Amino acid sequence: MCGCAIHLARSRCKGVAQPYGDDAQCAASHRSFECTWTPHHDAGSNADALQAVAADIASCLPDATHDQNSPGRQHFYLGAKGRRTDITLTPAGSNKLRLVVSG
């Protein structure tokens, strides 16, 4: 998996955030996957932690389009419009991050 932040297998949900935090809470439904976690203290600010996860996504999914890169939101997509998979990273409160994969 090349160290990716994303692993879409529902049976391994908590493994998604483990490189970034130890308290991952994850859930999967028919068309989406969501994980929240507290970044490790050495990750810096939430914005720094978002950038680190986004860098991993970009390196592991080179075909993904990174169409939003801001301190409060990172967004990627794969596939054509109408058949797209969206990957969104945002803060979840003051000290947690959220990863949502949908499509």
- Assigned domain for 100 exists: no
Whether 40 maps to a domain, the answer reads yes
pTM for this prediction: 0.79
Alpha helices in 22-86 (DSSP H): 46-60
Q: Is residue 19 part of a domain?
A: yes
> For 15-64, what is each residue's pLDDT tens digit?
555 567 878 888 988 889 999 999 888 888 888 889 988 988 888 889 99
Question: Considering its fold, how many domains does the chain have in total?
Answer: 1
State the amino acid at position 41 in one-letter form: H
- The overall longest dimension of the chain from CA atoms, in Å, is 39
At residue 99, does pLDDT exceed 90? yes
- Tell whether 71 is covered by a domain: yes
